[in-house]
Structure 1
Amino acid sequence: MPRLTTVALVAGAALLVRRAVRSRMSTAPLWPMPALDTPVSGYGRGSTVPRKVLVTGRTTPAEGVVELRLEGAGLPAWQPGAHVDLVLPSGLVRQYSLCGDPAATDTYTVATRLIEDGRGGSREVHEQLHEGVEIEIRGPRNRFPLVGSPAYVFVAGGIGITPVLPMLRAAEAAGADWRLVYCGRSRATMPYLAEVERLGGERVTVVAEDESGFPDLEFLGRLPAETAVYCCGPDGLMDAVGAAMPEGRAPRLERFTAAATTGGTAFEVELRRSGRTLTVAADQSLLSAVREELPGITYSCQQGFCGTCQQRVLEGEIDHRDELLTDEERDDSMLICVSRCAGKRLVLDL
């Protein structure tokens, strides 16, 4: 990374320290936010009832990225960090962060990058969702909520800017100290780059790989303890952010994909209502094993995001690997597409 970029990052960290000393770093929320343990629309599991929306706008905010404006009546309120499920015309369900204005009660905005070697969802969005097309959505849900804090550091990689963008606007409106490190392959591939630079000025550090290489994140280890750190982007970037944090502190992360569905040890699963018992191999997902016995079982995303495959657990310890269920739901249910058994045996209400 060029020296000037590194100096700017260090200077930004020092500025946060100086302001922290002046303000005593009050941790009271700076704008109305529901308590994180309060069931409010837009937090946790959210609504699973499908709603019809119409694609009323389509733009290209960066190379390979499509932004859609979705309009519908009575859309649920949401807070920065929330996402919605898009039920695509083929029946695929994919999750996209809301990146518009939470105050717009009849409009949602999402953006997605085309993944050439993906599983087809992004290609379907790019090729089939045009103005005038009606689709269903579910949600919003939020497992990446913006907590009240006097200071923030945001790190975004490429399309990972989408959940971060409403956070920047909220932090700016609240008068909080904030900085953004925005990474991407090139400036042309980084959506909303002009907006975030206009919003943040010198508080925004742009790290385009074709110009600057990779970001220097060592400054994260010198931030005041009260500074909230948020990151969304590729796994490598999120791992680097976590490694740069001081010992005992962790950033708040939003992942594009769930944890690996395989790995660990084999375990036994009893399907109580079906009267069947099966073995899930270490290199096999629980969903795959169950489908061999019950081929009609419903599922969709296979990444722990949509909730279609949620099943009630009667006995056993669960290794939760999803990005959807609330803590309460995790007490007695699991998403069998990604989650596994933490012991040797599970009993499902199937």
Structure 2
Amino acid sequence: MPTTTPPHSEAELDLTLARKEQLADGVVRLTLVHPQGEPLPAWRPGAHIDLLLGPGLVRQYSLCGDPDDPSVLQVAVLREPDGRGGSEHVHDNLAEGGTVRIRGPRNHFPLVDAERYLFVAGGIGITPILPMVAEAARRGADWRLVYGGRTRASMAFADRLAGDHPDRVRLCPQDETGLLDLDALLGSPREGTEVYCCGPAPLLDAVERRCAGWPPGTLHVERFAPREDPAPDGTGESFEVELAGSGTILTVPPDRSVLEVLEEAGVPVLSSCREGTCGTCETGVLDGVPEHRDSLLTEEERAAGDVMFVCVSRCASKRLVLDL
């Protein structure tokens, strides 16, 4: 997780959709290239980009290609009929040869150095894990991947992973093997092992419970939807935010987010998901105590209190001084 405040604006690129291919049931992969063949932004495993699909339709997708190939960016998108329309737009409206606007990459799920890795993926959660597996193999680390999905046909990259690493990858289609045996995987903490997990919320919640006894910071997760934590007590009050750059003081009422108040005051803050999952609106905190409601920061990062995500998080003190 970055510990420095990102820029308040990021470059956007119009890329060409060079290829759109079906990877698995309900999953398509998009291969994006620069229209003039120029190198694309650098990224590392765990990074994602925004797809700007239309007014008010911005979605984040993990990069699943090769970080060492600057000629393409690749994402895989699961069609979610009960979603908010982004995945259906990708599946139904994007066509090869068309233009796709992107923003990023940014990375809130980086692969740390470790002796050993245990990767746990559920469904489309395999996308950020795929380049991590390749990087772990490149580093010569000891690693294994347990990959679950509804059916074998729905599991993107399954054949490739099992074929390339038959001794390190275990495929667990639910209709064949049942739910992942997380007790066997995570029941006993293992020294020097970092655990990376991405997938649906029930899987992440279950993995977090079983990793509660592991060393702090061992578990790394990425969520596609906000964590369903209850709001802390005593947070329905107004508070002030001071903008360090100008000295401006704004009041955030109980029914408005910090981001909304900043936008109303004309303060440029980049945002996207507005639910604390994408990390776009990360803002430095110079003074005061943030009340974190995001689904990104670790407990250690929350305790540090030097950054917050202004789309959802609030204030546990009377005033916050923001690096804006």
Deviations, residues 198-233 of structure 1 (Å, cap 9, x unaligned):
122132222222222211122323353112211111
Partner of 1:4: none
Distance 2:28 2:51 in 1: 14
Partner of 2:62: 97
Partner of 2:314: 340
Partner of 2:11: 49
Q: 1:118 to 1:38 in 2, by over 3 A?
A: closer
Contact preservation (8 Å) 2:6, 2:283: no
Which amino acid counterpart does residue 239 of structure 2 have in structure 1? V
Structure 1 alignment gaps of length 5 or more:
1-35
Instruction: Provide the TM-score with structure 1 as the length reference.
Output: 0.75
Offset at residue 160 of structure 1 (A): 0.3
Q: Which deviates further from its counterpart, 236-245 or 292-301?
A: 292-301
Deviations, residues 148-187 of structure 1 (Å, cap 9, x unaligned):
2232111000000000001111222333221111111111
Higher helix share: 1
Contact preservation (8 Å) 2:121, 2:129: yes
Partner of 1:269: 239
Please report the RMSD computed on the Cα atoms of aligned residues, expressed in angstroms.
3.5
Structure 2 alignment gaps of length 5 or more:
none
Partner of 1:244: 210
Offset at residue 295 of structure 1 (A): 10
Distance 1:269 1:262 in 2: 20
Q: Does 1:68 align with 2:33?
A: no
Instruction: Provide the TM-score with structure 2 as the length reference.
Output: 0.80
Partner of 1:213: 178
Distance 1:316 1:38 in 2: 17
Q: Which deviates further from its counterpart, 260-269 or 159-168?
A: 260-269
Contact preservation (8 Å) 1:89, 1:135: no
Q: 1:297 to 1:134 in 2, by over 3 A?
A: same
Q: 1:324 to 1:135 in 2, by over 3 A?
A: farther
Distance 2:13 2:262 in 1: 29
Aligned length, in residue pairs: 307
Contact preservation (8 Å) 1:66, 1:126: yes
Deviations, residues 258-309 of structure 1 (Å, cap 9, x unaligned):
335872231213466887645315xx75556x49976999754212355665
Question: Which of 78, 82, 102 in structure 2 is aligned with 1:117?
Answer: 82
Q: How does 1:7-26 map to 2 (within 5 A)?
A: none
For the pair shown, the structure with the greater C-alpha radius of gyration is 1
